[in-house]
Amino acid sequence: MKKIQALRGMNDLLPAQTPIYQYLEHTVTGVFKQYGYQEIRFPLLEQTALFKRSIGEVTDIVEKEMYTFSDRNDESITLRPEGTASCVRACEQHQLLFNRGNLIQKLWYHGPMFRYEKPQKGRLRQFHQFGVEIFGIGSADIEAEVLMLTARLWALLGIEKHVELQINCLGSSEAREAYKAELVVFLEANKEQLDADSQRRLGSNPLRILDSKDKNTQALLNDAPKLSDYLSDESTAHFAQLQALLDAANIRYVVNPRLVRGLDYYNDTVFEWVTDALGSQGTICAGGRYDSLVNQLGGQPTSAFGFGMGQERLALLVDELNLVPNDWLESLDVYILALGNVATQALLLAEQLRTIHPTLKVQTHCGGGSFKNQMKKADRSGASIALLLGENEAQNNEVTVKYLRDEKPQTTIKQTDLERIF
């Protein structure tokens, strides 16, 4: 019988990889807390209408990437493809956003997202995002603070030299509509020079054409109308202010006038942190301002800014660059060998060690076996110290310490002196 396999693009994370994910979760959420963010958790499944209404009907996600199906009651439900829509829905449902009280919310989340994409390196059908969303602050300083937060994180992870910040200003939806009309006129006149995907988008989502990777399309776009010429004075000033703040904080960036984003709800500032170390899946963190979304989903007009960060892409990056600290990769510190009829003492000795040193990772050999066999297992376990407990040692309340990774000689000591070796 053919064995059942996992679904395509839905990866198992095996013990060799989970420490990398744990390290990222610890580090990323630690930085979120440093900036005063609180965690929010929302369900994996939502009503399909939530994503259609927020992300936009003609976006890639809604058009072809969502896992949508009917439940047993014939309701259309969708596995969340991103976090922002659910976050806004949850905040509204539980009245976390009161405009009159001018209440600010700074929230973070982490968890799996689902998109039916073509699986490849750094692109999965179930992937994990860290995200933050800030409600109630319309000024550029919160945008700068969020970018400082991400820059601090890259420095902590050691990847700051491998990432570049790109920013752009999309303006208001009115400005974008006016620009879109002019862009379409220009592109229609040069339609035959566009790649097939861009030709398709001309009728549905023309702004996304700016982001085309096709060489001919890119060349054509050099002569196309520029979004920056359509921005209001307010948007232009806001964007200038953000750049001044980034300059003051010494955060390097490039203005990429072609940076649009795949989701409809953004306005004014958008950004991406990109790396060239992961091939075409180069964006590790992306976000922007979305001041109309709360209102669009039924709430009061509320300023909002946020980002999503791909955990798999970060994991690939820190792993390939060998940046995961050994502490996280080593699953064991001490391996206790039980030689002869000493199983009880070995278990108790391990317990004693765990009590004295709660952070020590201790494993006892359970199940017998020869010295050679147990030694092999100790070696493979990654532990730096093996404790040998034979019948003689047990009788004398002693234990033999063998250093597995250092050139130190083995010694036999009293069990009560064990503390000293750590």
Contacts for 87-91 with beta carbons within 8 Å, 24 or more apart?
87/40, 87/42, 87/131, 87/133, 87/306, 88/54, 88/133, 88/293, 88/294, 88/297, 88/299, 88/304, 89/42, 89/46, 89/50, 89/297, 90/40, 90/42, 91/40, 91/135, 91/294, 91/299
Question: Which of 114-122, 171-179, 226-234, 243-251 is the region at the interface with ligand ATP (rule: CB under 6 A)?
Answer: 114-122
Asked whether the beta carbons of 295 and 301 are under 8 A apart, the reply is: yes
Among 28, 79, 87, 124, binds ligand ATP (CB under 6 A): 124
- The least CB distance from residue 275 to ligand ATP, in Å, is 10
Q: Which is nearer to ligand ATP, 266 or 335 (CB)?
A: 266
- The least CB distance from residue 152 to ligand ATP, in Å, is 18
Residues in 335-394 that interact with ligand ATP by CB under 6 A = none
- The least CB distance from residue 371 to ligand ATP, in Å, is 47
Q: Interface mask (CB under 6 A) for ligand ATP, residues 289-318, using x and -?
A: -------------------x-x-xx-----
Applying CB under 6 A, what is the total number of residues that bind ligand ATP?
A: 18
Q: Which is nearer to ligand ATP, 113 or 183 (CB)?
A: 113
- The least CB distance from residue 221 to ligand ATP, in Å, is 18
- Nearest CA among 213, 207, 261, 269 for reference residue 236: 269
The reply to whether 129 sits near ligand ATP by the rule CB under 6 A is: yes
Residues in 225-264 that interact with ligand ATP by CB under 6 A = 262
Phi-psi region of 322 (alpha: psi -120 to 50; beta: other; left: phi over 0): left
Question: Which of 118-126, 155-163, 199-207, 324-332 is the region at the interface with ligand ATP (rule: CB under 6 A)?
Answer: 118-126
The reply to whether 283 sits near ligand ATP by the rule CB under 6 A is: yes
DSSP, collapsed to helix, strand or coil, labels residue 109 as strand
The reply to whether 17 sits near ligand ATP by the rule CB under 6 A is: no
Among 80, 123, 176, 238, binds ligand ATP (CB under 6 A): 123
Question: Which of 86-94, 280-288, 322-330, 351-359 is the region at the interface with ligand ATP (rule: CB under 6 A)?
Answer: 280-288
Residues in 28-87 that interact with ligand ATP by CB under 6 A = 82
CB-facing half-sphere around the CA of 127: CA atoms within 13 A: 29
Residues in 79-98 that interact with ligand ATP by CB under 6 A = 82
- Neighbour-count burial of 87, counting CB atoms closer than 10 A to its CB (0-12 exposed, 13-18 middle, 19+ buried): buried
- The least CB distance from residue 131 to ligand ATP, in Å, is 8
Distance CA 396, CA 412 (A): 11
* Residue 343 CA, distance from chain mean position: 44
Among 91, 221, 242, 286, binds ligand ATP (CB under 6 A): 286
Distance CA 33, CA 26 (A): 11
- The least CB distance from residue 127 to ligand ATP, in Å, is 3
- Nearest CA among 251, 261, 319, 250 for reference residue 285: 261
The reply to whether 275 sits near ligand ATP by the rule CB under 6 A is: no
- Nearest CA among 331, 417, 387 for reference residue 16: 331
Q: Which residue is nearest to ligand ATP (CB)?
A: 310
Which residue type does 397 have? N
- The least CB distance from residue 118 to ligand ATP, in Å, is 9
Asked whether the beta carbons of 55 and 264 are under 8 A apart, the reply is: yes
240 CB neighbour count, 10 Å cutoff: 12
Under the rule (CB under 6 A), what is the footprint of ligand ATP? Answer: 82, 115, 117, 122-124, 127, 129, 262, 281, 283-286, 308, 310, 312-313
